[in-house]
């Protein structure tokens, strides 16, 4: 059975990635694994802390439980979103599962490809300036150097880049 890993970020391109992956799989027996890599917990805590400074606080002291609750809420929301996407894929009679982890995208993809025995990778291609690519490189190029499996890069329209999918608030 073919195992396809789809890296998603809950932007408008997520629907396009899923549609294109379903076309790639066609009638073959396959399992689609949706991978969403959350920010590391320490960064989530800092973001929640900053957002909370105008909320449930006394002076400059922010309540830890409020910050913890904000992070938990965000994680539950992302889990619910990825599970809804799995149900959508399964409605097309294709086996699917969700993987929601914290960390860096590049390392997470490498780990999951190895750990799950992935045969194909599908990623979206966000627009970056030439300067950005020279400075940081592209994820696709780094993955091609490290992986021996087919990588399907689905182009994402530059204008669509910062529109959240189905009401999910996007935090960078």
In the chain, domain spans:
2-38+83-167
Q: Model confidence at 85, in pLDDT bands (50, 70, 90)?
A: very high
User: For the ranges 27-31, 40-44, 76-80, 90-94, which has the lowest average pLDDT?
Assistant: 40-44
Asked whether the beta carbons of 8 and 78 are under 8 A apart, the reply is: no
Q: Evaluate the CA torsion angle 8, 11, 14, 16 in order and state its sign.
A: negative
Q: Model confidence at 136, in pLDDT bands (50, 70, 90)?
A: very low
CA gap 26, 153 in Å, rounded: 17
Asked whether the beta carbons of 68 and 46 are under 8 A apart, the reply is: no
User: Could you tell me which residues are beta bridge partners of residue 102?
Assistant: 38
Q: Model confidence at 145, in pLDDT bands (50, 70, 90)?
A: confident
CA gap 120, 28 in Å, rounded: 13
Q: What is the mean pLDDT of the chain?
A: 77
Helix (H) or strand (E) holding 146: helix 139-146
Asked whether the beta carbons of 7 and 35 are under 8 A apart, the reply is: yes
* Fold (CATH) for 2-38+83-167: Rossmann fold (3.40.50)
């Amino acid at each position: 059975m073919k195992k396809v890993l789809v890296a998603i970020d809950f932007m408008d391109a997520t629907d396009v990635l899923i549609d294109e992956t379903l076309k790639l799989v066609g009638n073959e027996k396959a399992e689609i694994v949706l991978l969403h890599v959350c920010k590391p917990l320490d960064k989530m805590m800092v973001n929640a802390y900053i957002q909370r400074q105008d909320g449930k606080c006394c002076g400059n002291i922010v309540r830890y439980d409020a910050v913890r609750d904000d992070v938990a809420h965000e994680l539950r929301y992302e889990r619910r979103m990825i599970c809804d996407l799995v149900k959508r894929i399964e409605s097309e009679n294709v086996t699917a599962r969700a993987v929601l982890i914290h960390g860096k995208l590049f390392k997470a993809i490498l780990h999951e490809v190895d750990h799950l025995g992935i045969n194909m990778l599908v990623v979206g291609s966000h627009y970056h300036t030439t300067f950005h690519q020279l400075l940081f490189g592209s994820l696709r190029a780094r993955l091609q150097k490290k992986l021996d499996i087919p990588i399907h890069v689905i182009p994402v329209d530059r204008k669509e880049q910062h529109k959240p999918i189905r009401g999910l608030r996007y935090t960078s």
